[in-house]
Structure 1
Amino acid sequence: MSETWTVLKVLQWTTEYFFQKGLDQPRSDAEVLLAHALNLERIQLYLRHDQPLSESELARYREMIRRRASREPTQYITGKQEFWSLEFEVGPSVLVPRPETEVLVERVLEAGTADGARVLDVGTGSGAIAVALARERPAWTIVATDVSLKALLTARKNIERHGVSDRVFLVAGRLLGFMAPERAGFDLIVSNPPYVASKDLPKLPPEVRDHEPLTALEGGGAEGAGTLFAILEQAPRYLKPGGHVFVEFGSDQKDVLVRWMEAAGGYEAFEVFEDYAGLPRILHARSKR
């Protein structure tokens, strides 16, 4: 007689297996993957803890366990990630949206930019920032760019999914070079650009280092701030006088960014904000009036 695998028994076994594999959140990963395999919400697993799994359900779940044990991100296995209380499609062509990037969205929304603003999202990836801003500010028009065509395809799906395709427009291009500065005139530029130093890539968790797109991680230069500097250097020419630029950066890059901003022209003021963990994470600067 074959062994009966209930929801609870499968969760217990998987949690222990993931723990032995050194995963940081073995129970949470087990629950997320099983809920996805059974097309349930996580809370429903506990309402059905004694429900047996069919052979096809077990087979589907085993494949997910195999992928997660190889350190593939849970979000790539399920194909989704929550950001700003919205569900986004994600995959290997885009970074998984992080909670700290919600701080970037919060700070942009607090900037007091008027209705009818023109906003540029540089390196949009999954489109999470652009969609979140469009949902919160229906009167804004947002141009979202990315150098990766695959990323733009994912962003397009998310933009359409959340009903903002009439206000978020995608453009293929690197940084701000997709249009002439004299035609820009943006009120606000926002970006979560690549900012990992090459020397730090081997230190990243395997979920990030081996699975997320390198072009969205590596920032260039000894400090990993090359892309950040390029955006900040170009931004004043693309902003209206007194316009805002917000960029996310690595928590160890505050000093080098502050030194760069103190020596830079084109800005009248700047400030640094911390993320939810109390780490420096967001730079806000205002162009000269």
Structure 2
Amino acid sequence: MEAALTLQQALRWAQAQLPASDSARLDAEVLLAFVLQKTRVHLYTWPEAELSPEAHTQFAQLISARAKGEPIAYLTGTQEFWSLPLVTNRHTLIPRADTELLVELALTLVPDGPLRVLDLGTGSGAIALALASERPDWQLTGVDRVADAVELARSNAARLKINNASFVPSDWFAALTGKRYDLIVSNPPYIDDADPHLTQGDVRFEPRSALVAPAAGLADIQRITVDAGEHLAVGGYLMLEHGWQQGSAVRDCLSAAGFVAVATHQDLAGRDRVTMGQRP
């Protein structure tokens, strides 16, 4: 990459370096805007502006890392979820748009009024913070067995000034003895260890422990459904995100654990994504 490129030239160069990305143009725009601390609109408002040597070097390094497959969210340290700008790092999964279905269902299917809500495996705090931001009268608790994830979720809550969400370290329900909730949500590990997708795309860089579960990806879901009854109030709901081919198996898990009104909901692509049940 030559010195003193204009923003327009820099974007063209960057796109050519990312032949394996199906979003090369967007990747280049996001990374250049990050380097310049400007909006993407700025790049096209001032296309003839020149990159400084420092910005040139930083942009080239980021594009090189992206060409090797590193996720944009890790390179910039941020990812938007439910319109919330969340800080991300390599200790947690990158929040994804598919998971917003879980938030939407919780907001539309659960009765209004003050609720106690638990987010299992909270990671960056995405689900808990999205729900807390929409329902100030709800009290959210997010748990994660990874201490660094808990600290990240706490810092996201503080930075976003969301005061009705707290985060504590816990291996699923281990630290929650005697506590009950009106709603439990979770996006647990659900990928089979042999799934070839683990060697592709962003997931190569994400923590494997947050992605993979034994028993064809169902082990953590099975554990949650068995233990959730002790922590749900009567009439409370359990909502689980899962793989698009796991809907039937997850419904079986919930039914076997005694849940009623078990149902699976599809994502925008029409694939099974979230299954829920109610404690009778």
Give the shorter-chain TM-score range. Answer: over 0.9
After TM superposition, give the deviation of residue 261 of structure 1 in Å: 3.1
Counterpart in the other structure of 1:173: 170
CA separation in 2, counterparts of 1:224 and 1:12? 41
Indicate how the Cα distance of structure 1 residues 13 and 265 shifts in structure 2: closer, same or farther if over 3 A, else same. Answer: closer
Counterpart in the other structure of 2:243: 250
Give the TM-score normalised by structure 2: 0.96
After TM superposition, give the deviation of residue 112 of structure 1 in Å: 2.8
Residue aligned with 2:152, SS: helix
* Aligned counterpart in structure 2 of residue 205 of structure 1, from 188, 200, 208: 200
CA separation in 1, counterparts of 2:146 and 2:198? 25
Counterpart in the other structure of 1:59: 57
Give the TM-score normalised by structure 1: 0.93
Indicate how the Cα distance of structure 1 residues 174 and 127 shifts in structure 2: closer, same or farther if over 3 A, else same. Answer: same
* 1:266 matches 2:254: no
**Which 10-residue stretch deviates more, 171-180 or 116-125?**
171-180
* Aligned counterpart in structure 2 of residue 50 of structure 1, from 48, 51, 55: 48
After TM superposition, give the deviation of residue 162 of structure 1 in Å: 1.4
CA separation in 1, counterparts of 2:28 and 2:135? 37
CA separation in 2, counterparts of 1:157 and 1:251? 32
CA separation in 1, counterparts of 2:112 and 2:199? 39
**Which 10-residue stretch deviates more, 193-202 or 273-282?**
193-202
Contact 1:113 1:187 in 2 (8 A): no
* 1:218 matches 2:212: yes
Counterpart in the other structure of 1:285: 277
Indicate how the Cα distance of structure 1 residues 158 and 277 shifts in structure 2: closer, same or farther if over 3 A, else same. Answer: same
Q: What are the equivalent positions in structure 2 for 1:89-128 lying under 5 Å apart?
A: 89-128=87-126
After TM superposition, give the deviation of residue 258 of structure 1 in Å: 2.5
* Displacement over 2 Å in runs of 4+: 201-204, 258-262
1:51 alignment partner AA? A
* Identity among equivalent pairs (%): 35
Counterpart in the other structure of 1:193: 188
Indicate how the Cα distance of structure 1 residues 271 and 204 shifts in structure 2: closer, same or farther if over 3 A, else same. Answer: farther
Contact 1:145 1:170 in 2 (8 A): yes
Q: What are the equivalent positions in structure 2 for 1:22-41 lying under 5 Å apart?
A: 22-41=20-39
* 1:159 matches 2:157: yes
* Aligned counterpart in structure 1 of residue 135 of structure 2, from 134, 137, 142: 137
Unaligned runs of 5+ in 1: none
CA separation in 2, counterparts of 1:4 and 1:112? 56
Residues 123-159 of structure 1: CA deviation (Å, up to 9, x unaligned): 0000011111001000011111000011111111111
2:181 alignment partner AA? F
Contact 2:118 2:142 in 1 (8 A): yes
* Aligned counterpart in structure 1 of residue 179 of structure 2, from 184, 200, 216: 184
How many residues were matched structurally? 279
Contact 2:183 2:238 in 1 (8 A): yes
After TM superposition, give the deviation of residue 185 of structure 1 in Å: 2.0
After TM superposition, give the deviation of residue 66 of structure 1 in Å: 1.5
CA separation in 1, counterparts of 2:198 and 2:151? 30
* 1:73 matches 2:33: no
Residue aligned with 1:57, SS: helix
After TM superposition, give the deviation of residue 25 of structure 1 in Å: 0.9
After TM superposition, give the deviation of residue 201 of structure 1 in Å: 5.3
CA separation in 2, counterparts of 1:149 and 1:177? 14
After TM superposition, give the deviation of residue 255 of structure 1 in Å: 2.1
Indicate how the Cα distance of structure 1 residues 88 and 37 shifts in structure 2: closer, same or farther if over 3 A, else same. Answer: same
Residue aligned with 2:238, SS: strand
What is the root-mean-square deviation in Å for CA atoms of aligned residues?
1.4
Indicate how the Cα distance of structure 1 residues 246 and 3 shifts in structure 2: closer, same or farther if over 3 A, else same. Answer: closer
After TM superposition, give the deviation of residue 203 of structure 1 in Å: 4.4
Indicate how the Cα distance of structure 1 residues 62 and 3 shifts in structure 2: closer, same or farther if over 3 A, else same. Answer: closer
Residue aligned with 2:89, SS: coil
Contact 2:17 2:63 in 1 (8 A): no
Indicate how the Cα distance of structure 1 residues 167 and 48 shifts in structure 2: closer, same or farther if over 3 A, else same. Answer: same
Contact 1:143 1:171 in 2 (8 A): yes
Unaligned runs of 5+ in 2: none
2:164 alignment partner AA? R
